[in-house]
Structures are given as structure tokens and as C-alpha cells.
Structure 1
Amino acid sequence: MNKFKVLGTTVIAIAASVFITSCKDKRSTGWEYAPNMYEHKAYEPDQANPNFADGKTAQVPPAGTIPVGFQRFDFPNTRGGYDSASVAVKNLLPATAANLKDGKVLFISFCSPCHGKTGQGDGEVVAHGYPPPPSYSKGQSSRGGEMKDLTDGKIYHTITYGVNAMGSYASQLSPQERWKVVLYIHHLQTL
């Protein structure tokens, strides 16, 4: 009978400990080591913040800093900037089959709705009543000269800032993707 007493006491002790621990607050993880490492106060961008002299959480980056992955394009969105880019800016991407293929995919996705798949200015928007953009191989540029004579800098400047009814594609295409589109547009200029 002694074995049954010990076994019964053990079962009762285990059941009591399970019951007691199950009633405990589930969110508590027990003792905390360095709680300020993971229970810090996160400030919202528009919330007051005593950690900065001006009391704002959202701070302006220091002057002269450049975001990671950002490439500067120091030609303003003016006619002078367009003309300067025409002379000074050259595409550094090689005209490989892979770059041309990528440029075609990007052109079809972003440019063909207006310019058409072959760059003749016969995109889908023309069917909806919008004025057609000029053909890359036969048209005249709104800024003067023939479209087939557009340089790397002129095309890149136009993609970056837009012109006339065309808006900027700087937020949709990274600088490298813009250069691939430039390569493909040069291919379309020869058609």
C-alpha cells in the first residue's frame, strides 16, 4: 500500500502544479534580462520625440548625404539640363543581348502603352483619343531634331523627368533599368 500512497501523492502534486501554472498570465515570460533591449518605446514619425532638439521624430537627413543605392543625376529638369545631358551623359551599360532583352521587357511594360511595341507611336492610349507620341525612327522630337538622332543623355533625361504628356518614370525604373531602356530605344531608332 505504500507504493500506492507515493504514486497517488506524485499524481496529485503533478496535477496541482499543472493547475497552478496554467492559471498564470500567459503573456509573462518570467524574469526579464535587460528589458530595455526589447521593450523600447517606438515613436511614430509624426509623434513628438524628446530625444531630438527640435522634438520631432521624423528628421531631415543631413546635408550632402545620399541614400543607399541612389545614383545622382546632376542635370536639372530644364531645357538647359536636357541639352547638357545630351552632350555629357553616356550609357555605360554594354549593348549585350541580355541588356537588350531586359530593356525590351521594361519597354514593353512601361513604354509600349503610349509608344507602341515597336516605338512607332501607336500604343493603346492612341486608340483612346490621346495624341500619339512621335515615332522613334521617323518622328520629330518636340524639343527639336529627329527622334532617331536622340542621344543617350536626352533619352535618359526624358525618362527621368518626363516631357509634355509623358510623366517621369524615375520612381518606376531604377537608373540601371532606365539605361537598359535607353539601349532598347536605340535599337528601335534603327527600325
Structure 2
Amino acid sequence: MLAMNKTGILSLALIAFSTVAILSSCKDKRSTGLEFAPNMYEPIAYNPDQKNPNFADGKTAQTPPAGTVPVGYTRFEYPNTMDGFHASKAAVNPLEANEKNLAHGKQMYVAMCGPCHGVDGTGNGHIVELGKFPAPPSYATGNSSRGGLMKDLTDGQIYHTIEYGLNLMGSYASQLSPEERWQVVMYVKQLQNGQH
């Protein structure tokens, strides 16, 4: 009889536990339960495209104050003009010419410039082979659209072109950091000499 009472008590406890578990799982399915760090799910800040009552014009995304520079931004001191291009002739590559910089420059060149300029710098990239765009001039033998030979472009002039773009080539300032631009310049200098 004692064994029967223990079995009955265990059975009753199991039935009670199962009932509680079933009933608690049937509550509102939309509830997420407890949240850890709810500010990660419900942002406090305004989104850039939201109206914002804190500013007179009601916009969240404000134009930065004049003269400010974003964190980590390196300003190229030569403007995007023909005079700026000619003045950039004086700019010198600040990076040390070593295997690491040259290898990274080649990697960036192949990824960013190679589709148009070709891996060897002769203007035979994949985009050109499609036949929809004219071939850019060869670094070793071509003429620059700004006058002179491509092989005579200085470090600063190549950097200026990467920074601002030219003709069908857009700016690569948002794709390549200043250091990567100088590394690409280092590799283009090799292509000007017919090395790759």
C-alpha cells in the first residue's frame, strides 16, 4: 500500500507538472518574453531618414559644419581641377617601396583597376573585352588624355586620378584607403616600366 501511495503521488505530481507546462506554453505567442538589453532591439537614436524635432529643418541627417574632417579621413591637398592635377606632380609617395606594399598594391590593382586597365596595364581588361567601352591607354606606351605619355605620370598625378577619377573612370576614393591608393600607385609605376 505504501508503494501504491508513492506511485500515486509521483503520478499526480507528473500530471500536475505536465498540466502547468502545457498551460504556460499556450500563452500569447506574440510575447518575446524577457529581453536582455532591449536598447539593442529598440534603438534610442533617430534613423538618418527620420524626421527629427531636435533640428530646425526637421532632418536627422545634417550637413557637417564647414571645415570638419571625418575621423580617419586623410585630405588630398590638390583640388579636382586641371591646375590641381598639374600641381599634384609634386606629391611624393610616402610609403616605403618594399615587397609587402608592392604585393598589396598589385592585389588592389587587379581587383579595382584590372577589369578596365588589364592585369598587365595594357588596357585589355574584361570590361573592355565586352566591346561596350573604349580601352584605356596602356601605362607603358599610351598617351594620357590630359596630355603627355602615361609612362611619364608622376606618383602624385596617378594618385590624383585614383582620388577623383577621369573620363569614364570614376573616383576610387571610397573603395581604396589613402594607403591602398599609394600602394596601387607603386604598382602602376612598375607597369609604366613594362614590369608586372
* Pairwise TM-score range, normalised by the shorter structure: 0.7 to 0.9
Give distance in 2, aligned partners of 1:43 and 1:7. Answer: 56
Give distance in 2, aligned partners of 1:34 and 1:173. Answer: 36
Runs of at least 5 residues in structure 2 that lack an aligned partner in the other structure: none
Q: How far off its partner does 1:35 sit?
A: 6.6
For 1:92-128, what per-residue CA distance to the aligned partner results, in whole angstroms no more than 9, with x for missing partners?
A: 1111112212222222233233333322334441672
Q: How far off its partner does 1:78 sit?
A: 0.4
Q: Could you say which residue in structure 1 is the equivalent of 2:190?
A: 187
Q: Could you say which residue in structure 2 is the equivalent of 1:171?
A: 174
User: Relative to 1, partners in 2 of residues 1:51 and 1:25: Cα closer, same or farther, differing over 3 Å?
Assistant: farther
For 1:12-38, what per-residue CA distance to the aligned partner results, in whole angstroms no more than 9, with x for missing partners?
A: 4323322332233352535x8997786
User: Relative to 1, partners in 2 of residues 1:41 and 1:101: Cα closer, same or farther, differing over 3 Å?
Assistant: closer
Q: Which deviates more, 168-177 or 91-100?
A: 168-177
Q: Does 1:14 align with 2:17?
A: yes
Q: Could you say which residue in structure 2 is the equivalent of 1:140?
A: 143
Q: Which deviates more, 147-156 or 96-105?
A: 96-105
Runs of 4+ in 1 over 6 A off after TM superposition: 32-37
Q: Could you say which residue in structure 2 is the equivalent of 1:23?
A: 26
User: Relative to 1, partners in 2 of residues 1:52 and 1:109: Cα closer, same or farther, differing over 3 Å?
Assistant: same
Q: Could you say which residue in structure 1 is the equivalent of 2:100?
A: 98
Q: Could you say which residue in structure 2 is the equivalent of 1:50?
A: 53
What amino acid is aligned across from residue 121 of structure 2 in structure 1? G
User: Relative to 1, partners in 2 of residues 1:149 and 1:37: Cα closer, same or farther, differing over 3 Å?
Assistant: closer
What amino acid is aligned across from residue 153 of structure 1 in structure 2? G
Q: Could you say which residue in structure 1 is the equivalent of 2:115?
A: 113
Runs of at least 5 residues in structure 1 that lack an aligned partner in the other structure: none
Q: How far off its partner does 1:187 sit?
A: 0.9
Q: Could you say which residue in structure 2 is the equivalent of 1:128?
A: 131
Q: Does 1:69 align with 2:72?
A: yes
Q: Could you say which residue in structure 2 is the equivalent of 1:156?
A: 159
The root-mean-square deviation of aligned C-alpha atoms, in Å, is 3.0
User: Relative to 1, partners in 2 of residues 1:163 and 1:7: Cα closer, same or farther, differing over 3 Å?
Assistant: closer
- Give the TM-score taking structure 2 as reference length: 0.77
For 1:145-191, what per-residue CA distance to the aligned partner results, in whole angstroms no more than 9, with x for missing partners?
A: 32222111100001111223332222332222211110011111222
